Structure 1
Amino acid sequence: MINLETPRKHRMVIDQAHQVAMNMLRPISRKYDRAEHAYPKELDMLAAMIDGLSESGTAEGAGATGASQQSPAKEPHDPTKVRNGANLASILSVAEMCWGDTGLLLSMPRQGLGNAAIAAVANEEQKARFKNVWASMAITEPSMGSDSAALTTTAVKDGDHYVINGEKIFVTSGERSDAVVVWASLDRSLGRAAIKSFVVEKGTPG
């Protein structure tokens, strides 16, 4: 039987996200609908607050970096316990924040799709290297939507680096972020299996 009730351990982070959505995102939502090219500076303070909560450990799953790889549990499997609570907490808190304003949430420094992608697969050295980097995500291309299997961007290894060739569009906060997570294929004949993500830092030649 599936239990659809919210786990008690996550109710606090959901309440916190709801308060942020109601008191910080909703009040400025219409303002930035009208001024769509203006940078919502209020998000800097909110991002700093989420960073602080995450580092202190008081907000499990808060922010884009909450849903990261976790080490396998050492104790025997217990079907009555939630084994991957951080992912669920992240999903529930993001849902609450989207109730405030989805566009503003996606524009928040260090809390975007690129940061979530890094957190999901990064090793410890990479997590430390990109800890304070604001990363955007680049998947969509002019010839395709969000169907990653249809992307045409390629990545070819050249010495210690990769050369990426292609065109991306609809990169949320790409102009303001510190880096862009670019999805490209190592070998288009292999389909999805050859698609990898590359962190391209701002100022990279090309």
Structure 2
Amino acid sequence: MIVTLIIVCEVGFWVLLAAGLATRYLLRMPRTGLALLLCEPLLEVVLLVVTAIDLKNGADPSWKHGLAALYIGYTVGHGHRTVKWLDGHAAHRLGGAAPPAGPPRYGMARARHEGRVWLGTVVAAAVASGLLLIAMWYVGDANRTSSLESWMFTAWRTAGIHGLVALSYALWPRKAPAGTEAEHELMSTKESARR
């Protein structure tokens, strides 16, 4: 049941997102569209409540409960960024706004961008770990909650790997190809910094 609910929440996330953006830009009802977008966190609340009820009714903590915690953590850590990114594209395609700026491609600006995305993964791991710790405390039997503990390690291992990838952008920043517009921007930025 928990896995089915995770799938329903994921589908619901995209349905609410599409409905909210369509309402904002196609139907020209920005407040109603915003209200639909603000309903998205309710899906995670429902998942959290159902998971807690499942544990309260005596279900053995398993990978399903761990996956639910990771899903909620990911949504908290990266959901806002995802919605903002898609809102920018919808505003451009459906609302006539200017195209959204993409992430920087070169240098330390790209490293800072990757660092911010990694912080979202750290938040996701922290939220998932907090939920898993609460579930372990709620169950109160260390023998039954070892699978939940392994999900905490999975969350932090993922954050660690993502951190190494983000760090690689700072240690070995990509340089703009010679003669490109990005190189000219970088040079003008350096010249203005000297002045």
**TM-score, with structure 2 as normaliser:** 0.32
Question: Which structure is larger by alpha-carbon Rg, 1 or 2?
Answer: 2
TM-score (norm 1): 0.31
Does 1 or 2 have the higher relative contact order (CA < 8 Å, sep 6+)? Answer: 2
Instruction: Specify which structure has the higher proportion of strand.
Output: 1
Q: Which is richer in helix?
A: 2
